[in-house]
Amino acid sequence: MTDLTQCTATDLLALYRSGEASPVQATQAVLARIAHLNPRLNAFCWVDENLALQSARESEARWQAHRQTGAQVLPLDGVPVSIKDLILTRGWPTLRGSRTVNPDQPWEVDAPVTARLREAGAVLLGKTTTPEFGCKGETNSLLTGISRNPWHLDHTPGGSSGGASAAVSAGLGPLAVGTDGAGSVRIPAAFCGNVGFKPSFGRVPAYPLSPFGSVAHLGPHAMTVADTALMMNTISLPDARDWTSLPHAEVDYLAGLRSGVAGMRVAYSPTLGYAKHVDPEIAAATAQAAQHLQDLGALVEMVDPLTEDPLDITTGLWFAGAYQVWRTLNAAQQDQTDPDFRAQAALGAQLDANAIHTLNQRRGVLGSHLRQFMQRFDVILTPSTAVPAFKARPAGHSPMTSEAMLGWTPFSYPFNLSQQPAISLPCGLTTEGLPMGVQLVGPMFGDAKVLQAAKALESCYPLRRPTLS
């Protein structure tokens, strides 16, 4: 029999259509696997079995009617999905990984992505773990503890969408929603061996907007590029609550997905022009990815789009955002915060209005430079991270500096500053058995092009899953 927990969303929809499996069977299988594995992984901080099974039964009725009479089914009908605990979900607490949020209050609002997923018939499973306020590239917090990597339980799944990525990798639902303010979708995707996509800023509506500003994107976690495109068709639908969102693009992200990369112009940048320390196995895997793209017909040129590391721009603006959140907390709440978040807020408190204005001006120069660079290329190819997943550590394990926070992921944050679409997809395992990822970055608004290139490159690699029992 098919192990429904190892099926992609696309697989599940095909099985439902044929009657070979049902949403109830798939949901029951995933819930059983969550109950078995989550005590070790700590990927979920909230699971609602009753609601999930109720949604699955409703979906199953729609599929039965579809097979009998041709009645309409919904785009994600019966597909299990998880929501990161930064994203509002009606009926469930959204604690943002923080002991400062009171769970005992009305939870009556769905964020845009949650609302669109419900409307598309998805089976919502629960909330996945995040560090406090999504503040770092590891998933640990004083509220939920340490989340772990399905490939090696003593390693981190990355962050801040570490719970989402670990869940997808481990077969705890084929789709998950994450957020990405400096790499928080792509880092855990690389560390956990799945696909993570950061769309163009504003392509997926958000509400409320992130306190960390216009670097924060929402995007899918999945095991395949096709599932990513499938999910984008739903979560990119418009929502008037996000005044920064882009005009709705009448795009089917599945259409043209298999068009290949023949003639596509690829800028292969092993270091982005400044990354000094890249793990040799990751560097070799990225070079191999460049060769794969060339073999598939792409025009690959080794060229660096940047010369200087914009780390201080990223962390400066991030620390300023942390301080703004900190200021909303009372003294008792501040005493309960994660030491990493507290340290970020303290660094942000040192920045005056002139310093923040200067950082934004420098960000503008960077964004303009990258927009002009992309006039010559369709995509940029880089490693996703400079290192594979490192050991899982508790909150506050090291002094907070810009380098400690993001220095090991130099390829992710520039494209939050520039707001470009970027995807991480798996490209093999290290000799230690840890996943590696490569990143494809497109021009602003070039989301479909990025998915098209990723689909072509994905064909060069087998789909790997961690062994968990």
C-alpha radius of gyration, the chain, whole number: 21
Amino acid at 10: T
- From the list 184, 200, 245, 418, the catalytic residue is 184
- From the list 84, 127, 198, 455, the catalytic residue is 84
Rounded to whole angstroms, what are the CA distances from 378 to 294, 300, 439, 444, 450?
Answer: 14, 10, 13, 10, 8
User: What's residue 189's pLDDT?
Assistant: 98
User: What's residue 1's pLDDT?
Assistant: 57
- Distance between CA atoms of residues 40 and 276, nearest Å: 35
Tell me whether residue 418 is one of the annotated catalytic residues.
no
Query: Interior CA angle at 285 toward 185 and 256, to 5°?
Result: 60
- Distance between CA atoms of residues 210 and 199, nearest Å: 16
Rounded to whole angstroms, what are the CA distances from 172 to 282, 288, 353?
Answer: 27, 31, 45
Tell me whether residue 184 is one of the annotated catalytic residues.
yes
- Distance between CA atoms of residues 24 and 415, nearest Å: 40
User: What's residue 2's pLDDT?
Assistant: 86
User: In the CATH scheme, what is the code of domain 4-458?
Assistant: 3.90.1300.10
- Residues of the chain predicted below pLDDT 50: none
* Confidence (pTM): 0.98
- From the list 160, 169, 200, 412, the catalytic residue is 160
User: What's residue 75's pLDDT?
Assistant: 98
User: What's residue 64's pLDDT?
Assistant: 97
Tell me whether residue 84 is one of the annotated catalytic residues.
yes
Phi then psi for 198, rounded to 5 degrees?
A: -105, 105
Rounded to whole angstroms, what are the CA distances from 184 to 150, 157, 180, 313, 318?
Answer: 17, 11, 4, 17, 13
